[in-house]
Structure 1
């Protein structure tokens, strides 16, 4: 006997179809939710990895300069003769003994002249001075000669007119600009009145500084050292609304030396700096440091901008690093 009811079951009813569609939508919604969650997790992890990598690179670059603060090559007694013309006119020519190669700024005190572009007004900054690069030894010096000449032990000393350098022995350090050099004769000249900028106010390299033609004579004898003078400022600048970490340093062009800034890393919102003095156990802000000559470590905190403007917790955007100074 044929079941007529069964023979007519050739499809789904509307109710069954709607139930199937609802179940399908629920399933698709779940799959889509899992996909979006995984995509968001991937983007967040990728952003965190990128920021961590950028922060590590920034810390590595900054630590090289901070660790070197105050290095002269010979002595750390703080006696420095600076014969650059108008030495206090620009921060990168103004070595101050009581700072011993490091000076920090709070956000309210960062000078606009620290670099170009100018620093933003809500981030801290630090300036550093030291002898950098390869050094050469001095075997003779004629401080009273008309040309004021240093004789070095290497023909490939790599120093040229316009370079700012440091000479040092166990008595003191002198900062001056090279006015002439001769590879064949292995000489470096520190005269006055040349075409260099900023130039030297004296041929005398004695301590304390005397800015007259002959100045305070001092002879850097055998085994004294000669190295480049490095002045570096780390700060946050902004170009076209984008904040970046900048490194400003004087650079020689021809016979002249002038300040130049390099964009080191984009996406850094601000720098926060804390300093540790050998006379205390607490980290301090720049305006609370009693003696810069006693600073033995710097804590650098970078606040990063997340890629793609992801919404991340504040602690995920902040990275800290402690750097010890070597020359104390």
Structure 2
């Protein structure tokens, strides 16, 4: 008679399976948590790196303008003759000697006409004026001729009719618009009248300014300097609900002899712009409304408050970047 042997079947009990599943879920949850934490850290670091790089670029551009504030190309007593028509009607035609090429605005005082789009009402702004670009030397000047003409030492001056320029010597600086530039003859004409914008109220470049045809006479002699006039406004504006850092400056309109204000968007996602000023007569940084004398300002602290990306949460202090800039021409 055949014998049958029965072998005991081995396996997992239901309890063991459930325990294994729980342990597996815990392990998967831990790995997922580490992955999410690493992904969040990566996003934060990437966002911070991008904001730091953007802020660094903005600071470098602003520093170039701020360091140059007040520069005319000559060492003189700071007297400035401005013969642009309706000087002061637009901010970039309004050089004031007591400001020495720099003027700051608190949030409540920023002019709406500083740029397009207009500045927001809860952020500060700064306005700068200086001589920029390549300079050329003057070797003769005929201020009283029918066409008041400056003779320069180079045909590669890069100036054209309609450009606004600064001429200076050891007596004073003059701001005017070029009415004609002849490369072959190396001449710069600065007559009054005409259809240019803004145009010159006088061909006399002497100090103080008198807006008549001949104005205050002055002859810029040998070794006087001629350079392009730069006026720059930095502020925060909003377009389509997005705040950005803007740089406004007058430019000659292509194909014409007119100069008008143009605005460039420099950096998107900037919530607020703040300035603090250091005067040579005081060791403390001051807000614009507490500056005693703009001609004494030797340093500017710039602060940018950035907007965090939509998928990243950052503390307010992490979103704020500061940079200290020294003025060269003091």
Structure 2 Cα separation of the partners of residues 309 and 237 of structure 1: 24
Structure 1 Cα separation of the partners of residues 126 and 4 of structure 2: 96
Q: Match for residue 60 of structure 2?
A: 60
Structure 1 contact 126–234 (Cα < 8 Å) conserved:
yes
Q: 1:267: Cα distance to partner? A: 1.3
TM-score when normalising by structure 1: 0.97
Q: 1:309: Cα distance to partner? A: 4.4
Per-residue CA deviation, residues 292-314 of structure 1 (Å, 9 max, x unaligned), is: 00000000000011223411111
The 4+ residue runs of structure 1 with deviation greater than 6 A are none
Gaps of 5+ in 2: none
> Secondary structure of 1:246's match?
strand
CA 76–57 in structure 1, closer or farther in 2 if over 3 Å, else same: farther
Q: Match for residue 144 of structure 1?
A: 144
CA 281–76 in structure 1, closer or farther in 2 if over 3 Å, else same: farther
Structure 1 Cα separation of the partners of residues 60 and 310 of structure 2: 25
Across the aligned residues of Structure 1 and Structure 2, the Cα RMSD in angstroms comes to: 1.3
Q: 1:268: Cα distance to partner? A: 1.1
Structure 1 Cα separation of the partners of residues 75 and 173 of structure 2: 8
Structure 2 contact 76–171 (Cα < 8 Å) conserved:
no
Per-residue CA deviation, residues 31-70 of structure 1 (Å, 9 max, x unaligned), is: 0000000000000000110011011101000000000000
Structure 2 Cα separation of the partners of residues 281 and 84 of structure 1: 37
Structure 2 Cα separation of the partners of residues 105 and 218 of structure 1: 35
- Spell out the pairing of 1:255-274 with structure 2 (5 A cutoff): 255-274=257-276
- Spell out the pairing of 1:40-79 with structure 2 (5 A cutoff): 40-79=40-79
> Secondary structure of 1:315's match?
coil
Structure 1 Cα separation of the partners of residues 295 and 280 of structure 2: 9
- Spell out the pairing of 1:117-156 with structure 2 (5 A cutoff): 117-156=117-156
- Spell out the pairing of 1:23-38 with structure 2 (5 A cutoff): 23-38=23-38
Instruction: State yes or no: 1:222 paired with 2:222.
Output: yes
- Spell out the pairing of 1:86-235 with structure 2 (5 A cutoff): 86-235=86-235
Q: Match for residue 22 of structure 1?
A: 22
Structure 2 contact 277–297 (Cα < 8 Å) conserved:
yes
Per-residue CA deviation, residues 81-104 of structure 1 (Å, 9 max, x unaligned), is: 000000010000000000000000
> Secondary structure of 1:308's match?
coil
Structure 1 Cα separation of the partners of residues 98 and 16 of structure 2: 87
Gaps of 5+ in 1: none
> Secondary structure of 1:34's match?
helix
CA 2–104 in structure 1, closer or farther in 2 if over 3 Å, else same: farther
> Secondary structure of 1:314's match?
coil
Structure 1 contact 76–327 (Cα < 8 Å) conserved:
no
Structure 2 Cα separation of the partners of residues 227 and 265 of structure 1: 29
Per-residue CA deviation, residues 138-160 of structure 1 (Å, 9 max, x unaligned), is: 00000111110000000111111
Q: 1:15: Cα distance to partner? A: 1.3
> Secondary structure of 1:23's match?
helix
